[in-house]
């Protein structure tokens, strides 16, 4: 069975009504190869568009070309996705004005979520500290740690201010010694709101 082009029908539809344009007609058979050529051009344009955008580039060399504008290079052993996040952060440094809305928008961009999914608590209890509420599942989906994420946001924050983050959605039991020693054992955590002990979860708020 022949594979027809996506653009063949569109080209045939442009012919006068008196001319046969069904797929068995000579007119369509003449136009279909041209339609295939248009298909290839459209596919090439899509690839170029994807590879010229930081968020959608699929090849590391494409990201490296984009990174020349902010003069950074991939680190040894660094994955493509982690380099992508660093690159996004560098561009944000150039454009960010340091407002709360900027920081929220940048946090959402890094995590590939909507700004409305990033919470903001104006009453952090500490002067000069902006507290964001971040879905932990979104952070888990990208190759970046909590500390790295907060560090990126703090680089975009005006002098005299600091960003902290509360990662909501899950909970893990920790003793004071564990907390102070930055020890996190998921096997000690509750799996759900009912308090069932199983595979545990990461630190944060427990929500239904």
Q: What is the pLDDT along the chain (208 residues), one digit of tens a residue?
A: 678 888 888 888 888 888 888 888 888 888 888 888 988 888 888 877 777 777 788 888 888 888 888 888 988 888 888 888 888 888 888 777 778 888 888 889 888 889 998 988 877 777 778 888 888 888 888 878 888 888 888 888 877 788 888 887 655 555 566 666 766 665 555 555 555 555 444 444 444 4
* C-alpha–C-alpha distance, residues 85 and 168, integer Å: 21
pLDDT in tens, 103-132: 888 889 888 889 998 988 877 777 778 888
What is the predicted pLDDT for the residue at 206?
41
Q: Which two tokens stand for residue 202?
A: 């990461």
Check if the beta carbon of residue 12 is closer than 8 Å to that of residue 21: yes
CB count, 10 Å around CB of 13? 10
Q: Note the pLDDT of residue 203.
A: 46
Please write down the long-range contacts of 100-109, taking CB distance under 8 Å and 24 or more positions apart: 100/130, 102/156, 103/130, 103/132, 103/153, 103/156, 103/157, 103/163, 104/132, 106/153, 106/156, 107/132, 107/134, 107/149, 107/153, 109/55
Which pLDDT value is given to residue 184?
Answer: 60
* pTM greater than 0.75 (yes/no): no
Q: Which pLDDT score, from 0 to 100, does residue 131 have?
A: 85
> Tokens standing for 56?
């959608």
């Amino acid at each position: 069975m022949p594979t027809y082009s996506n653009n063949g029908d569109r080209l045939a539809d442009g012919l006068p009504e008196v001319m046969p344009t069904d797929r068995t007609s000579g007119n369509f058979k003449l136009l279909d190869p041209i339609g295939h050529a248009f298909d290839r051009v459209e596919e090439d344009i899509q690839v170029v568009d994807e590879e010229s955008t930081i968020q959608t580039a699929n090849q590391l060399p494409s990201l490296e070309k984009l990174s020349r504008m902010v003069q950074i290079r991939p680190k040894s052993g660094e994955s493509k996705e982690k380099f992508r996040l660093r690159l996004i952060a560098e561009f944000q440094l150039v454009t960010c004005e340091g407002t709360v809305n900027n920081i929220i928008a940048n946090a959402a961009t890094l995590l590939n979520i909507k700004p409305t999914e990033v919470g903001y608590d104006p009453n952090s209890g500490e002067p000069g500290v902006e507290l964001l509420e971040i879905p932990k599942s979104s952070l888990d989906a990208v190759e970046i740690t909590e500390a790295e994420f907060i560090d990126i946001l703090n680089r975009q924050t005006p002098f005299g201010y600091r960003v902290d983050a509360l990662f909501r959605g899950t909970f893990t039991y920790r003793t004071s010694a564990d907390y102070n020693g930055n020890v996190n054992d998921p096997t000690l955590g509750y799996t759900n709101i009912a308090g069932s002990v199983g595979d545990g979860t990461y630190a944060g708020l427990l929500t239904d």
